[in-house]
């Protein structure tokens, strides 16, 4: 039997999974690595750690499955988006990678907007300049580490550096390339207008492929490094959100998925590139040929819930997420007027403000810990509504809403989100995430399936449907209005 491998090079660990040729999960391996924050708002990693983590993950998956490397028909790659790898002419790493969550490039974003113009950015890249993207990191290197910039010859993002080590090929694919702010998203190729305005040579960038296409094959050096068979095809893969959508079967216009991890992501495919309006809604190429997607990202969704749990653990070391759920369920909808702003690490969608901060607003003597727990869950739900509303404003249909991620295990939280959206949400029975999408894309590229639609035929697994609570809908409509009024009133006080 032939197998397919999907590799997800994430922010804290690499994950490799094996699936069979009928799409069933077989085994997985993990390899962890550290993240470093040398200064406030900075986030970096050593690309060598990604390689070590990936090797450990691959070895773990092969060992658990008792599968020989030459039985793998294809490999797909995914991983954290935007994070930059700078290589010199000998293909050596110049400095630690600057990650997607790094906030140092505010001045460079302003510089890009001035040099390229907002109009050209929206026409070509379909996005405004945000600190997480790759292009501002290139300008930061030029402005702050000019000696390193003079050595620069290649720019890659996370999974594509692993691809280079694995195959010796400089390649990327359209979904990850979209997040570099250097791609013409409608045309699905590099933007000559942006590259010229920023003085970035085209030869610094890898070739762009569609996500299911074979980009190269495991080289002799790659086989030794990672324990794979020489000659194994490696497909384009996808950025983590696009690959995760493939793994969940979210590939058709009208579908929408809400991912409740540390961050909160609202993701919706589109059959044509949506018109960018200059907001913080991302417009990227999907990992499905001739498809695009819009995406809203709030930085502290599950992160806010984790913060509340950790804070409570200082009082009760045994406090759990289930206990938080029970507390919140005992409080009334709307938490008796208490509003929580979940901006604990700044916010991307809707306001792109790294200085935004978390707030409890409306506290009285009548509010207890149960109402605070409820307000945290409701505040995240309101933040997700912001992204959904912005997508509707640019004409993206949100007909079928699916929900996944660790936070989706909470029945109460899903009911709160459904009621805030005034739409039913279908919970997905998902365990494998982006790595599954990468493995399915590998199956298309290696000929197991003829296209992505066929590969995902059995992957959209609905666990249940949670409908809005009618009496909560009016409460949350009013609560969302108050929630949205708070940030504009407080933003000047967040600046330090």
* pLDDT recorded at residue 145: 98
Which of 176, 240, 325, 386 does the annotation list as catalytic?
A: 240
Residues above pLDDT 70, as percent of the chain: 99
46, 96 contact by CB (below 8 A): yes
pLDDT digits (tens, 9 = 90+) for 446-483: 999 999 999 998 787 889 999 999 999 999 999 999 99
Q: Are strands 84-87 and 171-173 parallel, antiparallel or unpaired?
A: unpaired
311, 331 contact by CB (below 8 A): no
pLDDT confidence tier of residue 431, bands split at 50, 70 and 90: low
pLDDT digits (tens, 9 = 90+) for 61-109: 999 999 999 999 999 999 999 999 999 999 999 999 999 988 899 999 9
C-alpha to C-alpha distance for 130 and 432, rounded to whole angstroms: 29
Tokens of 309: 């749990």
Residues above pLDDT 90, as percent of the chain: 88
Fold assignment, 3-236: Nucleotidyltransferase; domain 5 (3.30.420)
Q: Do domains 3-236 and 249-429+461-496 have the same CATH topology?
A: yes
pLDDT digits (tens, 9 = 90+) for 365-408: 999 999 999 999 999 999 999 999 999 988 898 999 999 888 99
**Residue 75 belongs to what H/E stretch?**
strand 72-79
Cβ partners under 8 Å of residue 108, min gap 6: 129, 136, 137, 139, 140, 143
* pLDDT recorded at residue 394: 86
In this prediction, residues 328-335 reach a mean pLDDT of 98
pLDDT confidence tier of residue 293, bands split at 50, 70 and 90: very high
In this prediction, residues 404-415 reach a mean pLDDT of 94
- Alpha helix positions (H), 71-145: 106-116, 118-124, 134-144
In this prediction, residues 188-211 reach a mean pLDDT of 98
For the chain, the average pLDDT equals 95
Cβ partners under 8 Å of residue 489, min gap 6: none
Assess whether 240 carries a catalytic annotation.
yes
Q: Is the pLDDT of residue 298 over 80?
A: yes
* pLDDT recorded at residue 57: 98
Q: Which CATH architecture has domain 249-429+461-496?
A: 2-Layer Sandwich (3.30)
Domain boundaries, the chain: 3-236, 249-429+461-496
Residue 17 φ/ψ, nearest 5 degrees = -120, 155
Residue 297 φ/ψ, nearest 5 degrees = -130, 120
């Amino acid at each position: 039997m032939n197998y397919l491998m999907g590799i997800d090079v994430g922010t804290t660990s690499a994950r490799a999974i094996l699936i069979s040729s009928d799409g069933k999960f077989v085994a997985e391996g993990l390899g962890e690595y550290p993240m470093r924050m040398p200064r406030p708002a900075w986030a970096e990693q050593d690309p060598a750690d990604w390689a070590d983590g990936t090797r450990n993950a691959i070895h773990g998956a092969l060992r658990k499955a008792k599968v020989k490397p030459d039985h793998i028909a294809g490999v797909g790659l995914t991983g954290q988006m935007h994070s930059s790898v700078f290589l010199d002419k000998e293909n050596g790493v110049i400095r630690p990678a600057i990650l997607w969550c790094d906030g140092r490039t505010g001045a460079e974003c302003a510089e890009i907007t001035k040099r390229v113009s907002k109009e050209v950015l929206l026409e070509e890249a379909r996005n405004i300049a945000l600190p997480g993207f790759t292009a501002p990191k290139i300008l930061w290197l030029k402005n702050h580490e000019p000696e390193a910039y003079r050595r620069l010859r290649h720019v890659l993002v996370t999974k594509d550096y692993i691809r280079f080590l694995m195959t010796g090929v400089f390649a990327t694919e359209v979904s990850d390339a979209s997040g570099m702010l250097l791609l013409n998203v409608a045309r699905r190729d590099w933007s000559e207008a942006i590259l010229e305005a920023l003085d970035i040579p085209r030869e610094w960038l890898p070739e762009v492929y569609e996500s299911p296409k074979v980009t190269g094959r495991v080289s002799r050096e790659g086989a030794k490094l990672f324990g794979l068979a020489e000659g194994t095809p490696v497909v384009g893969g996808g950025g983590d959100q696009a690959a995760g959508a493939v793994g969940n079967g979210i590939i058709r216009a009208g579908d929408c998925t809400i991912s409740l991890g540390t961050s909160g992501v609202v993701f919706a495919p589109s059959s044509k590139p949506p018109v960018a309006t200059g907001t913080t809604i991302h417009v990227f190429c999907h990992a499905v040929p001739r498809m695009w997607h819009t995406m809203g990202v709030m930085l502290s969704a599950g992160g806010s819930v984790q913060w509340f749990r950790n804070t409570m653990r200082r009082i009760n070391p045994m406090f759990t997420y289930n206990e938080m759920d029970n507390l919140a369920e005992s409080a009334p909808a709307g938490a008796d007027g208490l509003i929580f702003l979940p901006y604990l690490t700044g916010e991307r969608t809707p306001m792109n403000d790294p200085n935004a901060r978390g707030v409890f607003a409306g506290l009285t003597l009548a509010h207890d810990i149960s109402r605070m727990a409820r307000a945290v869950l409701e505040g995240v739900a309101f933040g997700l509504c912001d992204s959904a509303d912005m997508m509707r404003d640019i004409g993206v249909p949100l007909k079928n809403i699916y929900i996944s991620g660790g936070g989706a295990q909470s029945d109460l939280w899903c009911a709160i989100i459904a009621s805030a959206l005034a739409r039913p949400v279908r919970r997905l029975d998902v365990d494998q995430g982006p790595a599954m999408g990468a493995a399915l894309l590998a199956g298309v590229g290696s000929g197991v399936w003829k296209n992505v639609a066929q590969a995902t035929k059995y992957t959209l697994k609905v666990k249940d449907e949670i409908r809005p609570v009618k009496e909560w809908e009016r409460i949350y409509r009013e609560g969302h209005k108050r929630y949205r009024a708070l940030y504009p009133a407080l933003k000047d006080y967040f600046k330090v």
